[in-house]
């Protein structure tokens, strides 16, 4: 009988409701057998709603469960390293939400722990396995735009409105929990895709500021990159804009391709002609990547998003935000 990877989730919050949690039950060769949340009633509720056999309110208890083969760490970034390293100590593979950790140093500690334990570490940069991204990657590899030369990134979002009286600050705006603001949360997806598409970034120059957000996070970022492939790129991110814009354009010697980080279309441009195609996302957007993780653990494939690749994305984020973080720390 084919072996099944039995998963436990630490931190069954919003991201696990549809994006990821059900995929652990639906992926071939995978089962979801336990969940954990600090509030016992919420853990029990999740388990009942999703048909999960066991629930815990203690992460160590779930990690120690002999019926759990691998652990999905879906807590905020501030606790990724601590919980993942505990998984490594129990010699259990981990699939960690993105961004991988709060800093490059934490990523290095995680990789060292998993290497020492001899078990694999994966990170939920799930766009690497989405059909739309793979269509772009394969099209570029097939020469549809010639040789890639330049990439342009643009992402703008409206600011979050004022919070109702007494409502806590969203955790993504608390750097001690989230490791940064919306740049860390959203731009990490784009930067990770480009690491896979164009090679690792070798040089970064950037400016990051807080223009209007009432919490100590960056809300406007401009950066320039050089990739190992020789491609040069620029990126601009604004999270206090009047409207949403989302575009990544790779310019080649014979054409270009444009696609959003968070949308579903691709526009191929060559000789003045535009071919636009729609590639919808799967119902559970992480399922294609989770399937590659399961296949990797069962020795029938390889996952494209590992601790090593995800650490490179965190290193870029650290480089982009270094000056802004230093200015906040000095106040």
User: Which residues have C-beta within 8 Å of that of residue 24, sequence separation ≥ 6?
Assistant: 7, 9, 30, 31, 32, 72, 290
Q: What integer pLDDT is reported at residue 165 of this predicted model?
A: 74
Average pLDDT of 18-42? 97
Residues 84 and 62 in one domain: yes
The residues pairing with 70 across neighbouring beta strands, listed in sequence order, are 7
Q: Is residue 318 part of a domain?
A: yes
Residue 213: count other Cβ atoms within 10 Å of its Cβ: 17
First to last CA, the chain: 61
What is the pTM for the complete model shown?
Answer: 0.96
Q: What integer pLDDT is reported at residue 168 of this predicted model?
A: 84
Q: Is residue 308 part of a domain?
A: no
Instruction: Please state, for a pLDDT cut of 70, what percent of the chain lies above it.
Output: 98
pLDDT band at 2 (very low <50, low <70, confident <90, very high): low
Round the average pLDDT of the chain to a whole number and report it: 96
Q: Calculate the dihedral angle through the C-alpha atoms of 329, 222, 257, 267, rounding to the nearest 10 degrees.
A: 90
Residues 229 and 166 in one domain: yes
Residues 164 and 253 in one domain: yes
Angle (CA) 94-123-104 rounded to 5° is 105
Residues 137 and 123 in one domain: no
Q: What integer pLDDT is reported at residue 171 of this predicted model?
A: 87
Distance of alpha carbon 111 from alpha carbon 120, whole angstroms: 9
Per residue in 146-188, pLDDT (tens digit) is 999 999 999 999 987 677 777 888 888 898 999 989 999 999 9
Q: Is residue 114 part of a domain?
A: yes
Per residue in 34-92, pLDDT (tens digit) is 999 999 999 999 999 999 999 999 999 999 999 999 999 999 999 999 999 999 999 99
Q: What integer pLDDT is reported at residue 166 of this predicted model?
A: 75
Residues 244 and 101 in one domain: no
Distance of alpha carbon 23 from alpha carbon 282, whole angstroms: 10
Beta strands 54-56 and 30-36 are parallel
Residues 180 and 86 in one domain: no
CATH code, domain carrying 190? 3.30.360.10
Residues 141 and 273 in one domain: yes
Average pLDDT of 9-22? 96
Work out the burial of residue 329: count CB atoms within 10 Å of its CB; fewer than 13 is exposed, 13-18 middle, 19 or more buried: exposed
Q: Strand, helix or coil at 264? A: coil
Domain count, the chain: 2
Q: Is residue 212 part of a domain?
A: yes
Per residue in 195-249, pLDDT (tens digit) is 999 999 999 999 999 999 888 899 999 999 999 999 999 999 999 999 999 999 9
Q: Is residue 254 part of a domain?
A: yes
Residues 45 and 98 in one domain: yes
Residues 136 and 245 in one domain: yes
Peptide bond into 215 cis (omega under 30): no
pLDDT band at 1 (very low <50, low <70, confident <90, very high): very low
Domain assignment of residue 37, given as a range? 5-127+285-300
Residues 244 and 296 in one domain: no
Residues 120 and 166 in one domain: no
Closest of 6, 304, 309 to residue 129, by C-alpha:
304
Q: Is residue 309 part of a domain?
A: no
Weakest-pLDDT range from 59-63, 108-112, 136-140, 215-219 = 215-219
Weakest-pLDDT range from 7-11, 77-81, 163-167, 251-255 = 163-167
Signed CA dihedral, 73, 79, 80, 82: sign only: negative
Closest of 114, 115, 118 to residue 87, by C-alpha:
114
> Alpha-carbon Rg of the chain, whole angstroms?
20
- Contact assessment for residue 25 and residue 8, using Cβ atoms and an 8 Å cutoff: no
Average pLDDT of 97-106? 98
Q: Is residue 319 part of a domain?
A: yes
Q: What integer pLDDT is reported at residue 53 of this predicted model?
A: 97
Residues 293 and 241 in one domain: no
Q: Is residue 177 part of a domain?
A: yes
- Contact assessment for residue 181 and residue 213, using Cβ atoms and an 8 Å cutoff: yes
Q: Which ranges of the chain would DSSP assign to H, the alpha helix?
A: 23-26, 40-50, 59-64, 80-89, 104-117, 131-141, 175-178, 182, 188-198, 287-297, 307-329
CATH code, domain carrying 293? 3.40.50.720
């Amino acid at each position: 009988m084919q072996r099944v990877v039995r998963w436990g989730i630490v931190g069954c919050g919003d991201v696990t409701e549809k994006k990821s949690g059900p995929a652990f039950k639906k992926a071939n060769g995978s089962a979801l057998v336990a969940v954990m949340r600090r509030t016992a009633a919420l853990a029990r509720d999740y388990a009942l709603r999703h048909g999960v056999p066991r629930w815990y309110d203690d992460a160590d208890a779930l990690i120690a469960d002999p019926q759990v083969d691998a652990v999905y760490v879906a807590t905020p970034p501030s606790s990724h390293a601590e919980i993942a390293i505990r998984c490594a100590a129990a010699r259990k593979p981990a699939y960690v939400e993105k961004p991988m950790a709060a800093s490059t140093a934490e990523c290095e500690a995680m990789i060292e722990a998993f290497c020492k334990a001899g078990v694999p570490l994966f990170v939920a940069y799930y766009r690497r396995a989405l059909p739309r991204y793979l269509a772009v990657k394969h099209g570029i590899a097939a020469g549809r735009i010639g040789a890639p030369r330049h990439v342009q990134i643009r992402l703008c979002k409206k600011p979050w409105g004022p919070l109702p009286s007494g409502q806590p600050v969203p955790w993504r705006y608390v750097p001690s929990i989230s490791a940064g603001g919306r740049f860390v949360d959203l731009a990490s997806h784009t930067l990770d895709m480009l690491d896979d598409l164009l090679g690792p970034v070798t040089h970064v120059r950037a400016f990051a500021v807080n223009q209007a957000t009432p919490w100590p996070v960056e809300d406007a970022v401009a950066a320039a990159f050089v990739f190992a492939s020789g491609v040069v790129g620029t990126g601009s991110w604004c999270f206090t804009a009047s409207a949403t814009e989302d575009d990544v354009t790779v310019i080649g010697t014979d054409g270009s391709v444009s696609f959003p980080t968070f949308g579903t279309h691709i526009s191929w441009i060559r000789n003045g002609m535009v071919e636009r195609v729609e590639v919808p996302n799967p119902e559970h957007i992480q399922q294609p990547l989770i399937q590659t993780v399961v296949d990797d653990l069962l020795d029938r494939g390889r996952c494209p998003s590992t601790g090593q690749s995800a650490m490179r994305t965190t290193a870029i984020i650290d480089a982009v935000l270094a000056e802004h973080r230093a200015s906040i720390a000095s106040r």
